[in-house]
Structure formats: C-alpha cells, structure tokens
A and B are shown apart, each in its own frame.
Chain A
Amino acid sequence: MGAHRNVVRGYADELRLFGTPAARAGLVAMVVVFLVLPTVVQDDFWLSVLIYVGITAFGAIGLNLLTGYCGQISLGHAFFIGAGAYVAARIGGELGLPLPVWLLAAAVLGAALGGLVGPFALRLRGHYLAIVTLGLVFIGEHLWRNLTGITGGNSGTPVTAGASLGPVDFGALNLFGEVYSRNQGWFWLVWGLVALVALLAKNLVRTRPGRALQAVRDRDQAAEVIGVRAGRYKIGAFMLSSAIAATAGALFGAYQQFVSPDEWNLLLSIQYIAIVIVGGLGTIFGSVLGAIFVGALPALIDRYSDAIPGVRTGVGSEGFISVFALNQALFGVLIVLFLVFEPRGLAGIWLRVKAYFKAWPFSY
C-alpha cells in the first residue's frame, strides 16, 4: 500500500473495516479501554451499569439491523428479549448447560419466533406492522404470566445460568493468581460479545445481504425489480434481529439472576427504539453510542440525585418529583430534542465532527 492514507482506489478500499490509521488507532484505544476499564472502575454500581449498557447495546444492534437497515419498524423487541431470558433460566439454570449452549439456544428460539412474525411483515406495511408488533408485546406478556412452568408466572423466576466458557468462569474470574469480582468478569464477557456481534453486523451490512436490506428499506418493489427477493430479506431480517434480541435477553436474565414478566413491557421496546434513534438509524456504532447514552444517564441522575434540587430521594426529603419520574421526563425531553435538532442521532454528530477534521484546515 504505497498510496496516501486518505486515497481510496476502489470499492474494496472504501468498504474496509479499519482502513485508515485513525480507525486503527481507534480500534486499539477501544481494546485498551475494554481490557483496563474494569480494573480501574471497581465500583459494583458503575460496573453493573456498564454491563446493563453492554447488554442493551447488543440488543440494539439487532434492532438497528431490522429498523435502520431493513426499514421494518418493530415494537416487539421486548417480547424476544423476554423469550431469551427464559431460555437462560431453563436451559442454562435448570439443566445447567454451559454458556455457549444457552446463548445459542436463545438465539435459535429467537430466530424461530422472529420467523413467526415474518408472514405479517410480508402482508402489512409501516404503521400497521408497528402496531401488530406492539400486540406481540401484550400477547407475550400474557404468555409469560400463564406459562408458569417455564416462567414462574407473575412472581418471576430465578435465573441460575452459569457463565463459564470452558475453564474460564466469568462469574468468578481467576487469572494469573488474581481474583476478579463477578461484575468485572461479566463486563469482559458482555462487551466482548458486543464487539463480536458488532463486527458480524458490520460485515453483514457491507456485503451483498446488507445492500439488499437497504434496497428493501428504500423501496421494496424497486428492489424486487432489480432481483432482490424482498420477502425473503424481510423475514430474514426479522429472524436475525430477534435472534440477537433473545441472546441479549439471555445475557440479561443470567446477569440479573431473576426475571419477572413485568420487565418485558412496551416501555422496554420503546427504550430500544429510542436507543436506535438517538444513536442513529442505520449505523452499528450508533447503536452502541445510543445504549451508553440512554443507559448511563439515568444511572448518573440516580447516583447524584441528592445534589439535584427539587428531586425527592426518599420519604422525609423535600422535593416534588421522584428520581424515577425525573429520569422518565428527561428521557422524553431528550428524544424530542434529538429528533428536532439532530435527526441522524449521535452517529450524525460523530460524522459531522469527523468530517470537520477530515477537511481541516478547510472546514467551513
């Protein structure tokens, strides 16, 4: 490669994942942060926040493939996440099978359930599809409440799935004589998986299937005309996205060690949609940024609520709004602000900043 770093000489160059030195430096920086962060931040609260964020980012990548790349709006993400969590409870917990097995089982079940929604995706369009997937959340909730043998019914079920990969147990990591806490181990496990799925997704969208998905999103009938089988891709996108969602659900259940049907509600689905939008539709990296933003903000407020005037932190404290209510209201305001001022989301801001420096010193 003798050419200048910024020269692009063909599509292959443009599509490379880590083509520029800057991208490679970014990759190294991310790897370093990934490895070192849990040893610097040892606080259980912040680690658990970051683990939840990682799990959410994982699921959000799946939704972004469906909504951002294939243009199918789904409000049913919570349903698939719930299904995955119960797989972890039964296959990982009760049967005691190892980590790869219950993760894979969750993915398979997720794909199968996603395939069931497929026919609707073919027949219905836009808003009609969105509301049908919303119905899925309610029907799912009914199932979780009544399939007591699997889900423990309303009272929920403990999830005792182990997190061992061969000899390495992420729940109680022991490397080179150093003992790591459960949260440290889980941080590495979860964010490692996020990196894996992000890479897979990125590879998918820069190859033929990815371009086909985008063609279906932009105009499905035109896509059919140029030889893309839109129906097959729509169903495929649903299956893939739900498989990823279910895997995220399995991780969620296994990390939290207890799940109940109240968790897989519409709010969760909406949160995922919000993450994808705040992060930026149709960008993998944006899903991760969105998850960090949407997940870490409430935690910050929760942690420092004592310092915010007007917030009621408990009985006997002054204030008119509870921490939870404040979080919800802020979440709403943020969604509105983002969409009004930066519809392309965090990734859009990122691209703008990047473009600015790329053209520097001629950036105007």
Chain B
Amino acid sequence: MTAFLQNCFAGLSLGSTYALVALGFVVIYKSTGVINFAQGGLLALGAYLGYTFSNNLAVAFGVAVLLCCVSAALVGATFERIVLRRMVGQPPFAVIMITIGLLFVLEPLVTAIWGFEHKQVNNPWNIRTVEAGGLVFGVRDLWTIGLTAAVVLAFFLFFRYSSLGLAMRVTAFDPEAALAQGISARRVYATSWAIAAALAALAGILMAAGPGGLTPSIGFIALAAFPAMILGGMDSPAGAVLGGLVIGLAEALARGYQDELFSWAGDNVSVIVPYLLMILILLIRPYGLLGTKEVRRV
C-alpha cells in the first residue's frame, strides 16, 4: 500500500508538470487553432533562463522563477508578433510547421549558450524531503503540485472574470464577431502565446529544481504532454489538467509495477503508456474526454 501511494504521489507530481505544459498547448490552440510544437523548446529556454537568474545573477529563487516566466512570456509574444502574425489566415498545418521550425531554432540556441553539461539550479528544495505517515514526500514535488494548483486556479479566474480573459474566450468562440465588437485579435493572440510560454517556463524551472537537474533534453517532456492534451480534448483547459494528471498517474504506476505487471511487454513500458492510453481513449471518444465535437458541414 505504501508503495502504491508513493507511486501515486510521484504520478501527481509528474502529472502536474504535464498539466502545465498541456494547458499551454490548449491556450494557444483555443485562440489560434494551432498546436504549438515549440512548447518543449520554450520549456527548456525558460528553465535555462531560470538557471541564469538563480545561479549567475544570484537572485532569490522565487524571484528567479518569476523572472524566467516573464522573460519566456516575452519571447513567446515576440515570436507571435514577428513571425506568426504574418501567417494569420494561412492553413493551420503551415503554422504548425512554423512552430516546429521555432523548436529547431530554440534547441541549438540553448546548447550554444549553456552547453550540454548537467547543471544544478540553486534552489531551496533540491533533494530535501519530509516524511508523513510512512511516506516520503519530496519538497520539490509538493511545491510542484501546490504551484500547479494555484496557477490553474488563477488561470480559470482570469478567464472567468478579467476583461482580457473574456476577450480571449470570445475570440476563440468567434473571431469575426469578436473583431466586430472591437476586441483586438492581435492582443489576444500575443497574450495566449505569452501565457503558454510562461506556463512552459514554470514547468521547466520546477523540473530543473528537482533531483534530475537541468540538461538540454528537459524539453522532451513536452512530447509526453501531447497525449495529455489530446486525452483531455484539445480545446478544453479543464481537459488538459485532467489529462495531465491521468497520464502522469498512469505513467508512474506503470513504472512502479513494471516488474510485476508489464515485464512481458518489454523494458520501460511506462514510456509508451501515455500514447497507448491516448489511442485507447480516442477510439472511444474521438474528441477526447472533455473536447467539443467538431460540427461538420458539406
């Protein structure tokens, strides 16, 4: 039982990270209809910026987290302004490829600046743990879960009550009607990119503060967040959070019970569990758990 709970806790922490990244996917998808493949690159960039703030500029870790989110948001918004603005009206497929192009630029940029070495971000958590009820909780994992919950709450409040949030919802629902109401679509697009990049950066710095430390491969996690987004439904923020947690739990449990349950399926089955789960659910619900069904007209 202890082992089971311990695995669930690891799954929740992992799932929180997925949820943050998947939420970023959904924000951009909802407002612009594009899947942002560069999310992993933005995550890595954010984490390395956090490293620079925390280690080289020696600001307090909390401030470094804030700064890295803000600077990643700026990068995201700038990219939207310079490149993607020109692509409004082009088929979504072409825009997706552009985000892939951005990913290909970000990855070597990060390694050219920071190198390939394993880096350790100065942070107050490191490998500290607390024990309760026979379980060991990593302080970093607790913070990851807590911060994710807070950010998700703030996210929903923002969309529910702020005027910009309302504008974003309207634009997502009907861009032309929104434009007619005097809502600036440009501002909405730039904001959604900024929010997505900040979420990715937060996920990145939280991961980098863990026992794994910081390596350029940190951005790969975004690939496992794709299933999270699809599973929940691509246009549902709540679905992204739910999908992230489900995928995280499933992956952690598969890893924990690899020897007992999955040895027949080869080593490291947990790596493909997110994709298998995604395919399974899509066969039953083609638009994910909470996604809206597309209306098709001839």
Most chain B CB within a 10 A radius of its CB, from A146, A340, A343: A340
Interface size on A, as a range, is 35 or more
- Cα A293 to Cα B226 in complex, Å, equals 30
> B98–A335 contact, CB under 8 A?
yes
In the bound complex, residues from chain A placing their C-beta under 8 Å from that of B112 are 320-321, 325
Q: Decide if B276 touches A132 in the complex (CB within 8 Å).
A: no
* B74 is an interface residue with CB less than 8 A from chain A: no
**Chain B residues near A7 (CB-CB < 8 A):** none
Contact of B227 with A135 in the complex, beta carbons under 8 Å? yes
Instruction: Report the Cα distance A332→B230, complex, angstroms.
Output: 25
Q: Let me know if B87 and A142 touch, CB within 8 A.
A: no
Given contacts A335-B100, A336-B102, contact A132 B272 (CB under 8 A): no
Q: Are A142 and B271 in contact (CB under 8 A)?
A: yes
A221: chain B residues within 8 A (beta carbon): 296-298
Task: List, in ascending order, chain A residues with CB within 8 A of B105's CB.
Answer: 329, 332-333, 336
Could you tell me which residues of chain B, from 55 to 92, have a CB within 8 Å of some CB in chain A? 83, 86-87, 90, 92
Tell me whether B271 and A138 are in contact (CB under 8 A). Answer: yes
Q: Answer yes or no: A239 CB below 8 A from chain B CBs.
A: no
Interface residues on B, range: 35 or more
Contact of A340 among B98, B104, B265, B286 (CB under 8 A): B98
Which one of B234, B265, B275, B297 contacts A135 once the chains associate, using CB atoms below 8 Å? B275
Minimum CB–CB distance from A46 to chain B (whole Å) comes to 25
Whether the Cβ atoms of A266 and B223 lie closer than 8 Å is yes
In whole angstroms, what is the CA distance A219 to B297 when docked?
9
A318–chain B nearest beta-carbon distance, Å: 13
B230 touches A131 (CB 8 A): yes
Separation of A30 and B29 alpha carbons in the complex (Å): 45
Which of B97, B104, B272 neighbours the largest number of chain A CB atoms within 10 Å of its CB?
B104
Q: Roughly how many angstroms separate A335 CA and B106 CA in the complex, as a whole number?
A: 13
Q: How far is the CA of A329 from the CA of B108 in the complex (A)?
A: 6
The CA of A133 and the CA of B223, in the complex, are separated in Å by: 13
Distance between Cα atoms of A219 and B105 in the complex (Å): 34
User: B94 is contacted by which of A146, A277, A324 (Cβ under 8 Å)?
Assistant: A277
Q: A138-B272, A340-B87 are in contact. Are A128 and B287 (CB under 8 A)?
A: yes
The minimal Cβ–Cβ distance linking A141 to chain B, given in whole angstroms, is 8
A324 to chain B minimum Cβ distance, whole angstroms, is 8
List, in ascending order, chain A residues with CB within 8 A of B268's CB.
142, 145
A339 touches B94 (CB 8 A): yes
The answer to whether A131 and B226 touch (CB under 8 A), given A142-B268, A142-B271, A277-B94, is yes
The closest CB in chain A to the CB of B35 belongs to A127
Tell me which residues across on chain A come within 8 A of B296, comparing CB atoms: 221
- Write out the residue numbers on chain A whose beta carbons fall within 8 Å of the beta carbon of B109: 329
* Beta-carbon contact of A222 and B298 below 8 Å: yes
Would A132 and B278 count as touching, CB distance under 8 A? yes
- Whether B279 sits at the interface, judged by CB under 8 Å, is yes
Inter-subunit contact A331/B226 (CB<8 Å):
no
Evaluate contact between B282 and A326: CB separation under 8 angstroms: no
Cα distance, A126 to B35, chains bound together (Å)? 11
Q: How close is B234's CB to chain A, nearest CB, in angstroms?
A: 6
A328 contacts B108, CB within 8 Å? yes
Q: B101 to A336, Cβ gap below 8 A?
A: yes
Query: Is B6 in contact with chain A by the CB < 8 A criterion?
Result: no
Q: Say yes or no: A332 contacts B104, CB within 8 Å.
A: yes
Residues of B208-249 contacting chain A, CB below 8 A: 223, 226-227, 229-230, 234
Docked Cα-Cα span, A174 to B265, in Å, equals: 48
Judge whether A325 and B108 touch: CB under 8 Å: yes
Question: Which of A126, A138, A322, A329 sits near B104, CB closer than 8 Å?
Answer: A329
Q: Mark A107-149, 1 if CB is under 8 A from B, else 0.
A: 0000000000000100111111011101100110011011000
Which residue of B is nearest A140, CB measured? B272
Knowing A128-B286, A138-B271, A340-B86, the reply to whether A328 touches B227 (Cβ < 8 A) is: no
Show 8 residue pairs from A and B whose CB-CB distance is below 8 angstroms, ordered by the A residue: A124-B282, A127-B29, A128-B234, A138-B275, A328-B107, A332-B106, A333-B105, A336-B102
Additional 5 contacts, C-beta under 8 A, given A128-B234, A128-B286, A335-B101? A132-B230, A132-B278, A134-B226, A146-B267, A322-B111
Instruction: Please list the residues of chain A having a beta carbon within 8 angstroms of any beta carbon in chain B.
Output: 73, 120, 123-128, 130-132, 134-135, 138-139, 142-143, 145-146, 219, 221-222, 225, 266, 270, 273-274, 277, 320-322, 324-326, 328-329, 331-336, 339-340, 343
The 7 closest A-B pairs by CB, nearest first: A332-B104, A146-B266, A325-B108, A135-B275, A335-B101, A332-B105, A336-B101
Q: Which residues of B are interface residues toward A (Cβ below 8 A)?
A: 29, 35, 83, 86-87, 90, 92-98, 100-109, 111-112, 223, 226-227, 229-230, 234, 265-269, 271-272, 275-276, 278-279, 282-283, 286-288, 294, 296-298
